[in-house]
Structure 1
Amino acid sequence: MHDAIAPAGPGDFDAGITSTPGSTRPEELSFHVAGDYHPPNGTLLGFWLYLMSDCLVFACLFATYGVVGRRYAAGPSGADLFDLPLVALNTTFLLLSSITYGFAMLEMQNNQVRRTMSWLTVTGLLGAAFIGVELFEFGHFIHDGAGPQRSAFLSSFFALVGTHGLHVTFGIVWLITLMTQLRQHGLIPANKRRLMCLSMFWHFLDVVWIGVFTFVYLMGVLP
């Protein structure tokens, strides 16, 4: 019969380990990363996924407007309500804000905190001007009896344009919050990452508004 094999003790395992030049010692092995760990580009990927979901929201609103946008219920049409010069001015405000945000990103790459915040301030003011004109337009429509309950056309119009306006409003709040963080902490990597996310969000709103301006306002004034 074979001799019984005695169970190995902890020291036997240590004795059987040989180290080679450049190898990691057993006590240096670690399977837990202490502290916060942020995957490279993880935030940007997640934010792209959010923007894709937002695209679906606006796609549904555009589709709804496309179906019921000509159902006026004997009420006013887009040709009766829309003031194209005012809408063109509002479009200019939003497009210029996208350009000024681009200047802010250039200054961020140069690590110029004050100049970055200056361009962000201009961007926020242009965004606020856009919201102000849009609220004036909505108030004028409602004062003339063309509220969202008047017809399917107006319901879909207020839903689409109002949802875009809410996004711009949230973007301005986000911008103010980010400027506060820049003032307190400067252009740290986390703030640069947040600026990149807000940049994608702001330019996304510009693209959506170009679709609104073309599909709703320009086509709305056609007979």
Structure 2
Amino acid sequence: MSEAAIIPQHETEAWKLPSRGVVGMACLILAEAAIFIIFVVAYLFYLGKSLSGPTPRDVLELPVFTSICLLSSSLTLHLAVASLHKGATRLCSLWLAITVLLGGIFLVGTGMEWYHLIYVDGLTIRTNLFGTTFYSLVGLHGFHVIVGLFLLSLALLFSLRGQLNNSHTEKLEVLSLYWHFVDAVWIVVLLVVYVFGR
């Protein structure tokens, strides 16, 4: 029996370069992950080293509802991408709108938490090391949520105007990578700041 008969013959596809958008987003995510790691390490390093109060245990409450909203938005964005891939543009618009709404609820909740911390509990970025590291880390994440919501709102606007179709699926997938990253970072921040850091 010849060697060619033993090895199954498969149709060979030409190797295709990965999408520039995916590669670019992957590089951005790696760089942003490094920045977040630095902020998380700084938070952990200075945890418990404040000479004056308030401490995390005194003022922080677990943001359950807003966290559920933000983490659920990854699912709704995934459903939006899947809908666009199938050509269901109206369904894509609906899932994008729900994603933006969930992200907006998270931001409003964060704003309300900060208002309470600053004006009721007296915790500012200058109060102590906890205040400095807390607002730096949570604020950095909040900034990323704002950027993501802006981009998702643009995608929603294009979708509502009929300018988003299944030929744009890859672009929405690239945007979804960023949003999934923001959500994954929130899991780390939630655990470090609100669970283990208290």
| TM norm. shorter chain > 0.5 | yes
Q: How far apart are 1:100 and its partner, in Å?
A: 0.9
Match of 2:65 among 80, 85, 89: 89
* One of 163, 181, 191 as aligned partner of 1:204: 181
1:185 match: secondary structure = coil
Residue in structure 2 matching 1:45, options 23, 44, 63: 23
State the 1:126 CA deviation.
0.4
2:139 to 152, 159, 162: 162
Deviations along 1:121-157, whole A, 9 cap, x unmatched? Answer: 0000000000000000111111121111001111001
Larger of the two Rg values belongs to structure = 1
Q: Which runs of 4+ in 1 moved over 4 A?
A: none
- Note the alpha carbon deviations across 1:74-93, whole angstroms, 9 max, x for none: 21111101112xx1111111
Q: Which amino acid aligns with 2:55?
A: S
**Which residue in 2 is equivalent to 1:186?**
164
In structure 1, how many angstroms separate the alpha carbons of the residues matched to 2:47 and 2:174? 33
Residues 160-209 of structure 1: CA distance to partner in whole angstroms, max 9, x if unpaired?
001101111111110111122332423153x3222011110111111111
- Whole-angstrom CA distance in 2 between matches of 1:47 and 1:209: 18
Aligned equivalents of 2:178 and 2:140: distance in 1? 14
Secondary structure in 2 matching 1:73: coil
The one-letter code matched in structure 2 to 1:135 is G
Measured on the aligned residues, the alpha-carbon RMSD in Å equals 1.3
What is the deviation of 1:40?
Answer: 5.3
- What letter is aligned with 1:200? L
Matching residue of 1:216:
193
Please identify, of 163-172 and 69-78, the stretch whose mean Cα deviation from structure 2 is larger: 69-78
Other-structure match for 1:58 = 36
Question: d(CA) in 2 for partners of 1:197 and 1:102?
Answer: 11
Aligned equivalents of 2:18, 2:26: Cα separation in 1: 14
Distance 2:25 2:197 in 1: 33
2: CA distance, partners of 1:153 / 1:41: 42
Percentage identity across aligned positions? 29
Contact kept? 2:69, 2:105, Cα under 8 Å: yes
Task: Please give the per-residue CA displacement for 1:39-71, whole angstroms capped at 9, x wherever unaligned.
Answer: 751111111111100001101101110111222
CA distance in 2: counterparts of 1:140 and 1:196, whole angstroms: 36
Q: 1:76-115 alignment to 2 at 5 Å?
A: 76-84=54-62, 87-115=63-91
Q: How does 1:73-152 map to 2 (within 5 A)?
A: 73-84=51-62, 87-143=63-119, 144-152=121-129
C-alpha distance in 2 between matches for 1:69 and 1:40: 42
Return the alpha-carbon distance in structure 2 between the equivalents of residues 89 and 215 of structure 1. 18
Distance 1:194 1:57 in 2: 25
Gaps of 5+ in 1: 1-38
TM-score of the two chains, using structure 2 as the length reference: 0.87
The alignment's TM-score, normalised by the length of structure 1, stands at: 0.77
Number of aligned residues: 180
Distance 2:48 2:33 in 1: 23
Say which SS state the counterpart of residue 137 (structure 2) adopts.
helix
